[in-house]
Amino acid sequence: MLNDIFIKPFADMAAAPDFLLQVLWEGLVSGILYALIALGFVLIYRSSRIFNFAQGIMVVFAALTLVGLHALGIPAWISVALTLAVMFALAVTIERVVLRPLVGQPDIILFMATIGITLFLIGGGEIIFGGENKVMITEELGIPTGSVLLEPWGGLLILEQKDITAVLVAAALVVALLVFLNRTRMGRAIRALGDDHQAALSVGISLQTVWVLVWFIAGIIALVTGIAWGARAGVSFALEVIAYKALPVLMLGGLESITGAIIGGLMIGMLEKLFEIYWGQPLLGGNTETWFAFVLALVVLLFRPQGLFGERIIERV
């Protein structure tokens, strides 16, 4: 038993390094998408102290809107632009109708409001788009669907071109987001609001404008993630469950850390895939990807409650 846990998995890795690379690549693709979703959570929490429970369904709603618009005969990239317009309208509506009347309310009230937004989007999405699984418009968007074959160490490594595209687009989006937050006036306003709410408001930063902006950015992230996941697994409300994999990413990386969201997502993606292939399937019958990330995050929280990259809060009494 100890041999199966501590020796055999690493021997298998050494015996087939090409297969190990394949496993790591699959984990990297999942991980960077987890990180994208987690970024949506982090941005909204940093600017408003609201844990956005609706981020998962926003991924589904954005993907369904894109596919639904294209089904009406609208060209693919015009459908993308119209979907972004829908996500902006959603951000404005949430700020005006939900968040603005609740300014100053306890955090739990705001959290419950995001649950209400989730249920509203689920119901509205099912009424408008139906509940059946849909096919992402991958080819119409120009996303390649072939494979790249490599032969490391004389073995075989298969890289799906749609996965390569997802990784490159996600990486570009993360870089653009970091540049926006660090180099632009509105980006610095978002960071200031996250660092010190009262001080930021006292120097004239508009809470309403920042809220609309971060919810719209979260909508952009949701659309990109929805396209990437939809290209891999189709578009349905089941994507919402996948999106909640961002929760252990947040616990691992820290709820306020953008760096933690990125690194935490990559760690979760690769480690859960490694555990599934080398330990989960041989010892536990598989399907460990559904719970491994949450167990890993729980172990980290036992020793570091603020996460690996979160700031330790010290209160004087």
CA 298 to chain centre: 19
> Tens of pLDDT along 191-205?
777 666 666 666 667
pLDDT at 74: 95
Task: Read off the DSSP letter of residue 235.
Answer: B
pLDDT surpasses 90 at 140: yes
Q: How many other CB atoms are found less than 10 A from the CB of residue 9?
A: 18
176 band by pLDDT with thresholds 50, 70 and 90: very high
> Tens of pLDDT along 85-104?
999 999 999 999 998 888 77
pLDDT at 205: 72
Span 21-48, average pLDDT: 90
Sorted by sequence, the CB contacts under 8 Å of residue 79 that are 6+ apart come out as: 66, 69, 70, 137
Q: Which residues are registered as beta bridge partners of 159?
A: 148
Q: Are the C-beta atoms of 225 and 59 separated by less than 8 Å?
A: yes
What's the mean per-residue pLDDT of the chain? Answer: 88
Spell out a b/e string for 231-240, using b for 16 or more CB atoms within 10 Å of the CB, else e: bbebbbbebb
Span 133-140, average pLDDT: 92
> Tens of pLDDT along 229-239?
899 888 888 77
pLDDT at 147: 93
Span 79-85, average pLDDT: 97
CA distance 202 to 208: 14
- In sign, the C-alpha dihedral spanning 219, 225, 231, 236 is negative
pLDDT at 196: 64
Task: Delimit the domains of the chain by residue range.
Answer: 2-303
Span 169-191, average pLDDT: 87
CA distance 135 to 118: 23
46 band by pLDDT with thresholds 50, 70 and 90: confident
**Given 3.90.1410, 1.10.3470, 3.40.109, 1.20.120, which CATH number is that of 2-303?**
1.10.3470
Radius of gyration of the chain (CA): 21
Q: Which residue has the tokens 């951000």?
A: 91
